[in-house]
Chain A
Amino acid sequence: MTRSREQLMCCITEVSFAIDDVKLYLDTHPCDKDALEYYENYRQLRNEAISEYRDCYGPISSYDVNAENVWTWVTEPWPWEGEC
């Protein structure tokens, strides 16, 4: 089942925050296996969510644009426009 634009953006925001927070912990606990596992789990979830978002609704950042026929960065609402 495909997730909606809102669901995906919500998921990306949540997992990105979790990653940012566990990164701070790992800075002072670089060998903590549980924290590394947590980080790796959410990193994978984030990559999947970003790929899914890009494939279904367009690029989240201009680095993700697959420039073949159209510059898709300007054809969809930008992530910060409140559409998602």
Chain B
Amino acid sequence: MDYRQQRYGRYNNRRSMGSYQNVSNVSNVSSGCGELESKLQEEVKHEYCDEDFADKCLDKLPLAMAYVPFQKWRKVYDAPTGLAHGTIFEELVLPFCGYKNNTCGCGMRGDRS
């Protein structure tokens, strides 16, 4: 495994999700609220499966060069709106919603159209 994947990649997520699952198991035994816990575990498992599926799909795709588009002066907020969003650039308002794209009904995350 590449060291960058270990530190930053989805492998890291998986490991932390794994420990979450272990915690669930422990409290399952001690607190007796098994139903809720197993529901949670099902959800976690579901996410695992999706992730594995995505992994397999990505494995078939060719490797690519990374790129950073040169920013243009457009869609700029005024100062109060900028402070509220943490950036004066509307194009950089990209709330992190877990692993999914934040589509907000307006195309891809970070859509530049």
Interface residues of A (CB under 8 A from B): 13-15, 17-18, 21-22, 25, 28-29, 32, 34-35, 38, 42, 45
Contacts and interface: CB of A to CB of B under 8 A. Distances in A.
B83 interface: yes
B39 to A, nearest CB: 43
Interface residues of B, number: 12
A24 to B, nearest CB: 10
A42 B9 CA distance: 40
Contacts of A25: 71, 73, 89
Interface stretch (B15-23, B58-66, B74-82, B98-106): B74-82
A27 B76 CA distance: 17
Given A18-B88, A21-B88, A22-B88, A35 B73 contact: yes
B71 A14 contact: no
Main secondary structure of the interface of A (DSSP, over half): helix
B87 interface: yes
Given A21-B87, A21-B89, A22-B88, A34 B73 contact: yes
B73 A18 contact: no
Contacts of B73: 25, 29, 32, 34-35
A17 B71 contact: no
B76 A17 contact: no
A26 to B, nearest CB: 10
29 contacts: A13-B83, A14-B80, A14-B82, A14-B83, A15-B79, A17-B79, A17-B82, A17-B88, A18-B78, A18-B79, A18-B82, A18-B83, A18-B88, A21-B82, A21-B87, A21-B88, A21-B89, A22-B88, A25-B73, A25-B89, A28-B70, A28-B71, A29-B71, A29-B73, A34-B73, A34-B76, A35-B73, A38-B76, A45-B79
